[in-house]
Amino acid sequence: MKLILVIILGLALSQCSRPGDYPITTQCQWVEDDHRSLNLLVGADRHHLRNDAVTAEDVAIRWADNHYHLLPQYEQRRDACMTSLFTGIANQHRVDIATVRQYSRERDVVFDVVVMLCFGFFYAIGAYYVCVWIMRRFTSDARGYWIMAAVLSGCVALVGVLLGNLASIVVEGVRLNSGHLSYRMARIPWREHWVMLFACGIIVFGFVAMFVYKRSHEAQII
């Protein structure tokens, strides 16, 4: 089962565009062989525009990091380069520049769901082993088991959120093939919805604790 989830994640990574592969242009000009107009009512065209917009944003960030890192004019130069690239995409595909900018902020929902499901699976496995460890120490003390489970549920959920946050940053860097995430880290769902994920971690831990308790109780009866 673990192997299947790893394969699914690998497929998601291989199918996503890799903005970091696009070379940095010295004049911040968008260069692309495809000059056709895009019909945003067509899914393939929306996907194409999103990939172009995300790539342009990545190029602008890498360009600014290379030329103006830690300088006062960094943000101004980065935004100017990004606007130039967005304008090039808009002119090339005959769409509005505001639309290009909007698409640059859109996430790949399928990719995000796959990442969260994979980590959720491994979190549940980790919670299971923690609950088994608790049960071994409170085999004949149900009250002690549930008190310890309640205390550790928040701790395990917090560790899960922290590890998930770190893993999501690493995976995002691999997806973009870029070490220049910059402000885009704030868009990663794991960072944006960490409170909800923390609550979900506690709930999942509770269900796992009930499963372990029920299985242990049934084994004692037999």
Q: How many domains does the chain have?
A: 2
Domain membership of residue 39 as a residue range: 17-104
- Give tens-digit pLDDT for 127-175: 999 999 999 998 888 899 999 999 999 999 999 999 999 999 988 888 8
Tell me whether residue 41 is in a domain: yes
200 band by pLDDT with thresholds 50, 70 and 90: very high
Tell me whether residue 7 is in a domain: no
Contacts of 7 (CB under 8 A, 6+ apart): none
Asked if 91 and 126 sit in the same domain, the reply is no
- Give tens-digit pLDDT for 33-45: 888 899 999 989 9
Tell me whether residue 180 is in a domain: yes
pLDDT on residue 109: 87
The encoded tokens of residue 24 equal 């940095």
Asked if 167 and 80 sit in the same domain, the reply is no
Tell me whether residue 116 is in a domain: yes
| Higher pLDDT among residues 219 and 162, named by residue | 162
- With pLDDT > 70 as the criterion, what percentage of the chain qualifies? 89
Taking alpha carbons only, the member of 55, 61, 89 closest to residue 176 is: 55
